[in-house]
Amino acid sequence: MPLNIYAGFSFVVLLVFLHLFYHRHAFVRWLSGVPAAISSISLYALLVLLLGFIPQKETHAGILSITGLDHLKTSWPFFISQVYILSSLGLVILRRLNHLTMRNVGFFLNHAGLWLVIASGGLGSSDLMRLQIELYEGKPFTNLAHDQVNRYRLPFSLKLNDFILEEYPPRIAFADARTFQIIPEKNVSFIPAEPGKRFPFKEFVLQVDTVLMHALSESIGMKAVPAKDGVPACHITVFRASSVAATGWIACGNRSMHPVILPLNDTIMIALLDPEPRKYQSLLEIINRNDTIPAVLEVNKPIKIRGWQLYQMGYDQMEGRGSQLSIIEAVNDPWLPVVYTGIFMLLAGAVYLFWLGQGNKNKQKQ
């Protein structure tokens, strides 16, 4: 039973009814006026201020829980405040509809746009589904997804063929050999490992000779290995004046090996910091109805299928580049078109305000 649709529709009908038949009543005149607007926005702003300061972790005990302060978004004051804004905003829109001129277009876009966003965002939140799917490389197709409470079956199946993680070149830093704190030199804490790069440090100069993004150790040093295996490694030479103070390999660590560091002296060592991800993506196959289609899922590039949107959420960060796990989020938001309509009205209204805001203000100068 779509209670939220019934509630929303009834609310709109109530506002229209009040506007049409009771617009001269003192209560309706006040609620559709600017003072009510200011007080409703202020009440909402006060609650948002509390949201901004108080950590929101519902504990079901203590004064913070009783007053709703630790779960503000689902508390009665918050709900009442939203109804207050929607009432005031709705009535002022209806009042202005009586004078539909070009000048009021901007007013209408801004106010009605905001009304749509607040109303549909609030009403739609109960229909919003955000589910998580854990896919492992090579495992069979699955359509099982879950949120924190329930498990669901999606109307399509997914299989992870490969999870790919590309990294930026790691950073080289000088560190204290006892505390492992990075020692900055003239506000420079590290340099990226790129062949030929030099890093002046006190009376030394570090030079990067070779960089291997995928390497494993051998008795003579590090050797390159196929992608997905190994660790980033780097051969460096440290000069003092024109003589060599130290030379050798440094490497990042992973689950099966410790990082390789190069000691410079008793107190200073040189290390390779863990690289940062540049890009990660899941190579998927999706069974939708009777078709099997390949797909690539990446951050900022969601896949839309059967009314759902799939997002690349995460992976096994302990494994890093070797992760066999890809965590995918499936989102279903049936009210999204309504929210987007409101958002685009607000965008247009903002542009209107930018170009013509001054014009309106000139009429109220001094």
Partner 1 sequence: MNWIDFPVIVLITALTWISGLITVLAFSRKTFFRRSGIMLLIAGTLVLGGFIAALWIHLERPPLKTMGETRLWYSFFLALVALAGFLRWNYMVLPATGIPMALLFLLINYAHPENYEKTLMPALQSIWFAPHVIVYMLSYALLGVSSVTAWIGLYRHYQSRFDRQTLYYADNLVYLGFSLLTLGLLFGALWAKEAWGHYWTWDPKETWALLTWLTYLIYIHFRYHQPEKTGISLRILAFSYVILLICYMGLKYLPSAATSVHVYSN
Q: Contact residues for partner 1 (CB under 8 A)?
A: 34-35, 37-38, 41-42, 44-45, 48-49, 51-56, 73, 121, 128, 130, 168, 187-190, 192, 276-280, 298-302, 309, 311, 313, 329, 331, 333, 336, 339, 343, 346-347, 349-351, 353-354, 357-358, 361, 364-366
Q: Residue 140 CB, nearest distance to partner 1 (Å)? A: 25
Provide the 3-class DSSP secondary structure of residue 169.
coil
What are the tokens at 220? 């003579």
Q: Which is nearer to partner 1, 245 or 348 (CB)?
A: 348
- Alpha carbon distance 348, 327 (integer Å): 36
- Alpha carbon distance 88, 109 (integer Å): 16
Q: Which is nearer to partner 1, 77 or 192 (CB)?
A: 192
Closest listed residue to residue 323, CA positions, set 184, 190, 167, 215 = 167
Q: Which residues of 239-267 are buried (b: 16+ CB within 10 A; e: fewer)?
A: beeeeeebebbbbbebeeeeebbbebeee
Neighbour-count burial of 178, counting CB atoms closer than 10 A to its CB (0-12 exposed, 13-18 middle, 19+ buried): exposed
Q: Which is nearer to partner 1, 227 or 244 (CB)?
A: 227
Q: Which is nearer to partner 1, 188 or 227 (CB)?
A: 188
Q: Are the C-beta atoms of 206 and 177 separated by less than 8 Å?
A: no
Q: Residue 33 CB, nearest distance to partner 1 (Å)? A: 8
Q: Are the C-beta atoms of 206 and 198 separated by less than 8 Å?
A: yes
Q: Which is nearer to partner 1, 13 or 296 (CB)?
A: 296
Contacts of 88 (CB under 8 A, 6+ apart): 31, 32, 36, 37, 40
Q: Residue 20 CB, nearest distance to partner 1 (Å)? A: 25
Q: Which is nearer to partner 1, 21 or 355 (CB)?
A: 355
Q: Residue 343 CB, nearest distance to partner 1 (Å)? A: 5
Q: Residue 220 CB, nearest distance to partner 1 (Å)? A: 31
Q: Which is nearer to partner 1, 205 or 245 (CB)?
A: 205
Q: Residue 248 CB, nearest distance to partner 1 (Å)? A: 24
Q: Residue 273 CB, nearest distance to partner 1 (Å)? A: 10
H-helix or E-strand spanning residue 31:
helix 26-31
